Amino acid sequence: MNIHEYQAKELFEKFGVATPKGKVAATAEEAGAAAREIGGTGLVVKAQVHAGGRGKGTFTNGFKGGVHVINTAEEAQEIAGKMLGQTLVTHQTGPEGKLVSKVLIAKSVDIAKEHYFAILFDRSTSRHAIIASTEGGMNIEEVAEKTPEKIIKEFVHPTLGLQAYQCRKIAAALGLRGALMTQAVKLFTALYKLYIQSDCSLVEVNPLAITTDNQVVALDAKFNFDDNALYRQKDIVTLRDTSEEDPREVAASEFGLSYIGLDGNIACLVNGAGLAMSTMDIIKFHGGEPANFLDVGGGASKDQVAAAFKIILGDPNVKGILVNIFGGIMDCNVIATGIIAAAQETGLSLPLVVRLEGNNVAAGKETLAQSGLAITGADDLTDAAQKIVAAVAAA
């Protein structure tokens, strides 16, 4: 799960991570009022979307930049008016961009230097890792690619946690001395505490700014939370903005299904993540393109199967469906009943290939055969993939 920058700022404040004061606004008038409330000159208006690269982004109305430094409340109102309700395209949003329905108005700071600072979970070492760089700002991906020696890495011991000496080491590597080092160490420590206590899988601050009056402040915030920990993060869950997520994935999560939308035209409905991955592979191997990853889990109910079908059919790119079920815990006949219910309810007219194997398979196949629906049976994975690829190519 991700959150917006304005929400991240609230977490920063709660945990004592230094960040300029800000207010969120949903209309141009609110933006003007927020600017007046924050007061003074030197403010920044920032489009709130779940994507980075906003500074260099462009709105579909031609307006350039999702981050603008301004001076008056009138300007805040005017800039907010150009952003709100518009779609912002950045290198992270994809060409379709993201709709901006809120802007952040924050106190602007005068930047002397932009660093990069992130905490994330590193799977290769099974440790939380600190990634930092003096080359902060807007192009960290390029820094990592072209000058990897400028990326500082520090791994956190799982039981000891982030140590003060490690914070000092990172601050020193960023060239921070004296009072700046003290502030940086305080900020890193607070951020690590926030990261652990909120079950984050990523906190990225880019830029971590050094101001001309020698303050260390977090100017941007990108958060990822571990979905498997959300059950114990009730406050974090309230920050979820489902309008930023793929609607198909939102619907799937309501039914406890693991669904990831893809760009192809062959939908798959599979039980088990490993089998779902192999199903996508074999579709590709036979020249097709999967429209999704969908794992209905080990013990899906008839209703879950029906819901899965409806989500699949909600994707206009889908031209055919492959159901691949290996019934271990799953009863093949439950799947068959779910498929039929969904096919009847949705008036399914797309080619449908079903491969069932395992627990109660004979009854499942019998149920499908008796349904009178145009379902193509398949005996193994290769057979199933070849049949659906051929059916979609013919359609």
* Binding of ligand GDP by 114 (CB under 6 A): yes
* Binding of Mn ion by 48 (CB under 5 A): no
* Binding of Mn ion by 220 (CB under 5 A): yes
CB 11 within 8 A of CB 2: no
Q: Which of residues 22, 32, 97, 207 is near ligand GDP by CB under 6 A?
A: 207
Q: What is the largest CA-CA distance in the chain?
A: 79
* Binding of ligand GDP by 23 (CB under 6 A): no
Respond yes or no on whether the N-terminal peptide bond of residue 207 is cis (omega within 30° of 0). yes
The beta strand positions in the chain, using DSSP E, are 22-25, 43-47, 58-59, 67-70, 87-89, 98-99, 103-107, 111-122, 127-133, 151-155, 200-211, 216-218, 222-225, 258-261, 266-270, 292-295, 320-327, 352-358, 375-378
Q: Which residue matches tokens 């991240």? A: 8
C-alpha triplet 249, 371, 380: angle, nearest 5°: 65
CB 166 within 8 A of CB 130: yes
Q: 39 or 247: whose CB is closer to ligand GDP? A: 39
**Among 18-26, 31-39, 213-221, 383-391, which window interacts with Mn ion (CB under 5 A)?**
213-221
Stretch 233-252: interaction string toward ligand GDP, x if CB under 6 A: --------------------
Rounded Cα distance between 10 and 31, Å, is 18
**Among 118-126, 220-228, 249-257, 277-285, which window interacts with Mn ion (CB under 5 A)?**
220-228
Q: Which of residues 219, 300, 343, 385 is near ligand GDP by CB under 6 A?
A: 219
Residue nearest to Mn ion (CB): 220
* Binding of ligand GDP by 44 (CB under 6 A): yes
**Among 94-102, 109-117, 229-237, 368-376, which window interacts with ligand GDP (CB under 6 A)?**
109-117
116 given a catalytic annotation: yes
* Binding of ligand GDP by 19 (CB under 6 A): no
* Binding of ligand GDP by 202 (CB under 6 A): no
Q: Is 175 left (phi over 0), alpha (psi -120 to 50) or beta?
A: left
Which entry of 75, 114, 116, 244 is annotated as an active-site residue?
Answer: 116
Q: How far is the CB of 211 from ligand GDP (least distance, A)?
A: 9
Q: Which two tokens stand for residue 290?
A: 């999967």
Pairing of strands 292-295, 258-261: antiparallel
Q: For the chain, percent helix, then strand, then coil, each to nearest 5?
A: 40, 25, 35
Q: 184 or 257: whose CB is closer to ligand GDP? A: 184
Q: 67 or 375: whose CB is closer to Mn ion? A: 67
Q: 220 or 244: whose CB is closer to ligand GDP? A: 220
Which entry of 75, 154, 204, 244 is annotated as an active-site residue?
Answer: 204
Q: Which two tokens stand for residue 273?
A: 């993540």
Q: 109 or 152: whose CB is closer to ligand GDP? A: 109
75 given a catalytic annotation: no
Q: How far is the CB of 208 from ligand GDP (least distance, A)?
A: 10
* Binding of ligand GDP by 334 (CB under 6 A): no
- Residue 4, classed as helix, strand or coil, is coil
Could you tell me how far CA 102 lies from the centroid of its own chain?
18
CB 297 within 8 A of CB 329: no
Task: Tell which positions 357-386 bind ligand GDP, by CB under 6 A.
Answer: none
Q: Which residues 6+ apart lie within 8 Å of 238 measured at CB? A: none
Which strand (E) or helix (H) includes residue 2?
Answer: none
* Binding of Mn ion by 206 (CB under 5 A): yes
Task: Tell which positions 47-66 bind ligand GDP, by CB under 6 A.
Answer: 52-55
- Residue 133, classed as helix, strand or coil, is strand
Q: Which of residues 30, 220, 295, 331 is near ligand GDP by CB under 6 A?
A: 220
C-alpha triplet 308, 312, 314: angle, nearest 5°: 115
Q: How far is the CB of 104 from ligand GDP (least distance, A)?
A: 9
**Residues near ligand GDP (CB under 6 A):** 44, 46, 52-55, 67, 69, 108-109, 111, 114, 137-138, 206-207, 219-220
Footprint of Mn ion (CB under 5 A): 206, 220
Catalytic residues: 116, 204
